[in-house]
């Protein structure tokens, strides 16, 4: 009898020990970036700007191994006053994660392109985010909603449903139609589905499709419909760096009467740190981009060329320099730009 009682106590102790193995904990992180921008057109006046563009704090809490909370709070341009600067809650969601699938509910990001979900400055080579990511894919795009996701054999999938966009604000692209979680409607929902493959070292290749009937002035009987399809590829290994993103948007009932917009950008770079005996990564790179914000409108058709040098002393810090031109098809002269910046994440 005593032996049975002893075995019962030991077994119970082992069970409680397993239950107590996980400890509730919180995590804090963030990122930020300082930019210097110098711009001039032809022989025109030169304009310069210093801007601490973004300061972001992440906060997360783990209740169990499966259930957690994640958030992202952003301050843009140092302060908010008189219509200047922005303070935004870009993420705040309850997350369930298991080996087979996951669930997110709250303020979330749709999976569109390479930078919308993962937009920390050390993850891209340029000082500013690619203009493609701003005007074709409206990075950073967030809203109230929920998402299901999972992965198998290197293939990752995600399905997200988000709040309605503002149909009356859609025109030259969809960026201005974002509701950002503020008193938004849910008549139709933004529907976003993505797939990507990461089974080969250094390679990510994927794409997504997003569609929506955006109500005009909160009226579900009058909408602007759009479909955004995009393809993305990134290779970062063996000192080589390459990115290609292409996206196209089709519209119905666009207030500016556009039926399509879209474009692409291509980045190529090579890490030369080992060749010059430098710790970290030192990458000369180039970018070519072409995008149109509405049909064949020459006033909204842009070509961009960039040449830059980015140095990562460690993976979480990036010092950036670039020189390039930005030209509208209808303009006689290109805008010349010199940008210098530093970005970090932790």
Bridge-based pairing state of the strands 317-328 and 301-314? antiparallel
Query: What SS3 class is residue 134?
Result: helix
Is residue 76 predicted with pLDDT exceeding 80? yes
What's the CA gap between 78 and 85, in Å, rounded? 7
The 3-class SS string of 157-211 reads: EEEEEECCCCHHHCECECHHHCCCCCCCCCCCCEEEEEEEECCCCCEEEEEEEEE
Q: Where are the domains of the chain?
A: 28-345
- CATH class of the domain at 28-345: mainly beta
Is residue 316 predicted with pLDDT exceeding 70? yes
Query: What SS3 class is residue 300?
Result: helix
CA dihedral for 198, 195, 174, 294, sign (positive or negative):
positive
Tell which residue, 312, 338, 340, has the closest CA to residue 122.
Answer: 312
Query: What pLDDT is attached to residue 92?
Result: 98
In this predicted model, what pLDDT tens digit does every residue of 221-275 receive, in sequence order?
999 999 999 999 999 999 999 999 999 999 999 999 999 999 999 999 999 999 9
Query: What pLDDT is attached to residue 20?
Result: 55
Confidence bin at 148 (pLDDT 50/70/90): very high
| Ramachandran category for residue 180: left, alpha or beta (phi over 0 → left; psi -120 to 50 → alpha) | left
For residue 252, the tally of other CB atoms under 10 A from its CB is: 11
What's the CA gap between 236 and 241, in Å, rounded? 5
Confidence bin at 63 (pLDDT 50/70/90): very high
Query: What pLDDT is attached to residue 1?
Result: 45
CA dihedral for 148, 153, 154, 155, sign (positive or negative):
negative
In this predicted model, what pLDDT tens digit does every residue of 188-233 receive, in sequence order?
999 999 999 999 999 999 999 999 999 999 999 999 999 999 999 9
Instruction: Pull the structure tokens for residue 226.
Output: 């759009």
Residue 58 has phi, psi (to 5 degrees) of -100, 140
pTM here is 0.90
Tell which residue, 158, 141, 139, has the closest CA to residue 150.
Answer: 158
Query: What pLDDT is attached to residue 13?
Result: 41
Contact 53, 37 (CB under 8 A): no
- Taking all residues of the chain, what is their mean pLDDT, rounded to a whole number? 93
Query: What pLDDT is attached to residue 21?
Result: 65
Instruction: Pull the structure tokens for residue 71.
Output: 């958030």
Contact 120, 109 (CB under 8 A): no
What average pLDDT does the segment 303-320 reach?
98
Half-sphere exposure of 104 (CA within 13 A, CB side): 25
């Amino acid at each position: 009898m005593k032996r049975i009682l002893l075995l019962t106590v030991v077994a119970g102790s082992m069970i409680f020990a397993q239950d107590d193995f996980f400890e509730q904990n919180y995590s804090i992180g963030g990122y930020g970036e300082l930019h210097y921008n110098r711009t001039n057109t032809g022989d025109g006046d030169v304009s310069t700007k210093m801007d601490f563009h973004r300061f972001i704090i992440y906060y997360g809490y783990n209740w169990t191994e499966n259930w957690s909370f994640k958030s992202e709070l952003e301050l843009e341009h140092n302060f908010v006053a008189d219509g200047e600067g922005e303070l935004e809650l870009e993420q705040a969601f309850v997350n369930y994660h298991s080996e087979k699938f996951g669930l997110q509910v709250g303020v979330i990001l749709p999976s569109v392109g390479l930078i919308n979900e993962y937009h920390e400055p050390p993850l891209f080579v340029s000082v500013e985010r690619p203009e493609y990511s701003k005007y074709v894919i409206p990075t950073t795009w967030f809203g109230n909603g929920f998402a299901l996701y999972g992965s198998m054999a290197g293939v990752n999938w995600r399905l997200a449903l988000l709040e309605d966009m503002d149909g009356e604000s859609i025109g030259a692209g969809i960026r201005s139609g974002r509701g950002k979680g503020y008193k938004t409607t849910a008549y139709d929902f933004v529907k976003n589905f993505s797939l990507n493959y990461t089974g080969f070292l250094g390679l990510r290749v994927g794409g997504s499709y997003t569609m929506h009937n955006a109500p005009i002035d909160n009226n579900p009987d009058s909408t602007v419909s759009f479909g955004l399809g995009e393809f993305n590829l990134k290779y970062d290994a063996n000192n080589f760096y390459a990115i290609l993103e292409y996206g196209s948007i089709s519209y119905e009932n666009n207030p500016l009467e556009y039926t399509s917009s879209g474009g692409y950008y291509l980045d190529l770079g090579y890490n030369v740190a080992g060749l010059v005996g430098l710790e970290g990564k030192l990458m000369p790179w180039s970018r070519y981009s072409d995008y149109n914000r509405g049909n064949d409108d020459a006033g909204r058709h842009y070509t961009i060329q960039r040449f830059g040098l980015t140095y990562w002393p460690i993976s979480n810090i990036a010092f950036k320099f670039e020189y390039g031109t930005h030209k509208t098809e209808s303009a006689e002269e290109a805008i010349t730009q010199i940008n210098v910046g530093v970005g970090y994440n932790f």
